[in-house]
Amino acid sequence: MKNSIKFLNAISICLTLFLVSSCTTEIEGTAEYPIVPDSKIKSISFDADWGSESWVYTYDSEGRVTTIANSWEGGEPEIITFDYSAENLVITKGNNSTYYKLDDKGRISRELWNDEGTEYAGFEYNSEGFLIKIIEHYDGEDHLKYENKITKNNITNRIRYEDDGTTIREDRVFDYTIGDNSSSIHQIYAVDSEWKVISGLYGKQSKKLVKNYVRKLASDPDSNYGASYEYTFDDENRVATQTKNGTGSGGNFSESWSYTYYED
């Protein structure tokens, strides 16, 4: 009877919470289903009022991204290549190549901004594998740009600093659903990229799916900017679509993503 009550309480929680992708209940230490498989992302399609873009990914045997077919407004794809042959990484997009240093776990530790390597963005990870700091190094000094706070395997705060590296510009505070982010969908945007973050190049993504966030602006403490997320799911309980509706200094906005996955 005790186990039945625990199960019914857990189901009730699952039914009443908003934006659920999977609900995991604990009965005497045994996890109940559904389970969201850890599937590699095959494609991402993005749509907003100002345009649409898509990316189709291929991977090597080690699970690293090797190419991305990038299309803008449904046009002819441009191939982005990832070259790991020099023990670091070169990403080439069109006629532009960017050079990166990797750490011993294959994560990006520096994005080099000049040939001498004296100016760069630096990336620091905690012992659990989460990105916790981004610094910009120029004029011989480090300038802290972003700092992430982690609680229970989720990034709860993305703090952005002014160019001086000490003055807080914005604290973006995230709440999460109980839905699993098993395919490591990128939602925090400390690294401002739709496509470079796939396959763990910048460490782990949050364990759960974002429910909403609030932007706390140092320059406007009374502002109420932020966004909420809605999801649909495929037959394997993976995110099929994600829609973000919010408001910022420019007014209301809506953005959406759709995802497909490689099947094992």
Query: What is the count of structural domains for the chain?
Result: 1
Residues spanned by the domain of 247: 36-51+59-64+83-261
Percentage above 90 pLDDT, the chain: 82
pLDDT band at 189, cuts 50/70/90?
very high
**Residue 222 domain flag:** yes
The dihedral region occupied by 49, where left means phi > 0, alpha psi between -120 and 50, and beta the remainder, is alpha
Rounded CA-CA distance 135/124 in Å is 8
For 58-103, the pLDDT digits (tens) are 999 999 999 999 999 999 999 999 999 877 999 999 999 999 999 9
Rounded Cα distance between 140 and 146, Å, is: 19
Q: Is residue 7 part of a domain?
A: no
Residue 30: which pLDDT band, with cuts at 50, 70 and 90?
Answer: very low
Asked if residues 115 and 97 have their Cβ atoms less than 8 Å apart, the reply is no
Whether residue 72 lies inside any domain: the answer is: no
Per-residue pLDDT at 34: 67
pLDDT at residue 184 above 70? yes
pLDDT for 209 equals 97
Is residue 13 pLDDT above 50, yes or no? no
The separation between the first and the last C-alpha atoms of the chain, rounded to the nearest angstrom, is 39
Q: Give me the mean pLDDT over the 208-230 stretch.
A: 96
Tell me the per-residue pLDDT of 41-62, one tens digit each, with 9 for 90 and over. Answer: 999 999 999 899 999 999 999 9
Six-digit token string for 165 = 């590296």
Considering only 31-45, 50-64, 149-163, which range has the smallest mean pLDDT? Answer: 31-45
Whether residue 15 is contained in a domain is answered as no
Q: Which two tokens stand for residue 26?
A: 């604990």
pLDDT tens, 249-259?
Answer: 889 999 999 99
Residue 194: pLDDT band by 50, 70, 90 thresholds? confident
Tell the residue number behind the tokens 């995991």, with chain if given.
24
pLDDT band at 35 (very low <50, low <70, confident <90, very high): confident
- Token pair 């406007």 is found at 220
- Please check whether residue 152 lies inside any domain of the structure: yes
**Average pLDDT of 94-120?**
96
Rounded Cα–Cα distance for residues 154 and 246 (Å): 21
pLDDT at 161 over 80: yes
Instruction: Determine the Cα angle at 196 with ends 170 and 120, to 5°.
Output: 65
Q: Which residues have CB under 8 Å from 264's CB, separation 6+?
A: 37, 39
pTM for this entry: 0.85
Summarize the confidence of residues 102-112 as an average pLDDT: 96
Write down the pLDDT at residue 4.
Answer: 38
What is the CATH number for 136?
Answer: 2.40.160.150
Q: Residue 2 above 60 pLDDT?
A: no
Sign of CA dihedral 131, 201, 210, 11: negative
Between CA 131 and CA 107 the distance in angstroms is 10
d(CA 113, CA 120): 5
Instruction: Report the mean per-residue pLDDT for the chain.
Output: 89
Q: What angle do CA 53, 252, 18 make, to 5 degrees?
A: 85
| Residue 95 falls inside a structural domain | yes
Return the pLDDT at 8. 36
> Does any domain span residue 169?
yes
Question: What are the backbone angles phi and psi of residue 14, rounded to the nearest 5°?
Answer: -60, -40
What is the predicted pLDDT for the residue at 11?
39
Does residue 256 sit within a domain? yes
Mean pLDDT of 147-166: 97
